Structure 1
């Protein structure tokens, strides 16, 4: 019986982050999809985590329920280790990995979400100034990341880490909101490597039937 169950939605960026890590480990896990129309699934999520955010990981073998993607990834790496070293053993590399995890979540994904949320509103009610500020914040983040990461294979160096799990969804969606492949060649090439990675391909394939719901065209 599979011990781990991830409560998720196929379009959620933070669910992607967790799924990539689980796939990197190569361990068995089950999925419980949360949809707005599925009241039973929503009630399950609320019972597990009253803040009602996903993903949420349930480890039935250890009676553990965990929210927050970065914490989920570190937990799985510690308690159900597979082939994936999410956090490098080297202390300096570990700090760089954790820093980049925060930068991708806070400085890339947060502005993306601001633009997305505005586009969920009727066009006449959208805050153009907020959208403009979010796009400007993304361009600033692109410049910083292009300079900081140039020459590396993966975000924190030669090894695929937690930082890359964070980078994949944030950059994938950011490129749809404020395209960067033509202006930031390292980031563009890096996103291509991420999207081609074996742990990422099934995540993108599972999301494809829902892609039309993404509101920024």
Structure 2
């Protein structure tokens, strides 16, 4: 049985779960202990020295990084294919994935820092929310251009491009930045949500949000450290939240990626 270490709110883990479910592959889910406080240990940290989810364990194969995991899944279980057939189309959907994994993820993550972890309040929080909304709108416009007149980002059928976008657009709805239901992107999301793989993954994420109500207090106690990886740090600084970063360093409740 394959084991996938994840957190239901991680868009990176969501991508992998959708891919496995699309291919009909059975797997067990685990949430690594201590990951939120930067204290992950055991099998998880031994297999993934970056201490990030997702991590896929398939026998002797221990694979981390969501894109590399997707490539492994596609190589080992090529049917049904999730990548388009032509090199140019494969490059296009991989580009979509990269944009969502860096630019889009950073926006939603930053909004989580404000809404769930209360890192900013008042005028600063409002400024960060406004900039996030502006940035999301631009990303949605870009995504609609990538979609064009097709039903799917992958082209004729649901695939790699679509599972790379769904977690981010779905999460943006919770922050008030989702696409209009009648827009090209909104209609695409409605189609994607009819797929069992997407619907179940989104349901797991929604159920997990309830537990986020207490995380601000845990953060203040120093029991939780949020990871400020490359694109997340860039987003917070460029969007006007440098004081959030400095305060987090001072209070020792943010962390940076370490290779254990």
Q: CA shift at 1:66, angstroms? A: 1.1
CA separation in 2, counterparts of 1:74 and 1:37? 25
Aligned ranges for residues 138-149 of structure 1 at < 5 Å? 138-149=136-147
1:77 is aligned to: 74
CA separation in 2, counterparts of 1:161 and 1:33? 26
Contact 2:153 2:161 survives alignment (8 Å): yes
TM-score with structure 2 setting the length: 0.72
Q: CA shift at 1:42, angstroms? A: 3.3
Any unmatched runs of 5+ in structure 1?
Answer: none
Aligned ranges for residues 1-217 of structure 1 at < 5 Å? 2=1, 4-36=2-34, 42-44=40-42, 45-60=44-59, 63-79=60-76, 81=77, 83-119=79-115, 120-121=117-118, 124=121, 127-182=125-180, 185-213=183-211
More off after superposition, 158-167 vs 122-131: 122-131
SS in 1 for 2:57: strand
More off after superposition, 119-128 vs 172-181: 119-128
Contact 1:73 1:86 survives alignment (8 Å): no
CA separation in 2, counterparts of 1:198 and 1:124? 38
Q: CA shift at 1:36, angstroms? A: 4.5
Q: CA shift at 1:168, angstroms? A: 1.1
CA separation in 2, counterparts of 1:29 and 1:54? 15
Q: CA shift at 1:105, angstroms? A: 1.9
Any unmatched runs of 5+ in structure 2?
Answer: 214-260
SS in 1 for 2:63: strand
Poorly superposed stretches of 4+, deviation over 4 Å: 35-39
Count of equivalent residues:
209
Which structure's CA Rg is the greater one? Answer: 2
More off after superposition, 168-177 vs 29-38: 29-38
Contact 2:5 2:31 survives alignment (8 Å): yes
CA separation in 2, counterparts of 1:162 and 1:20? 10
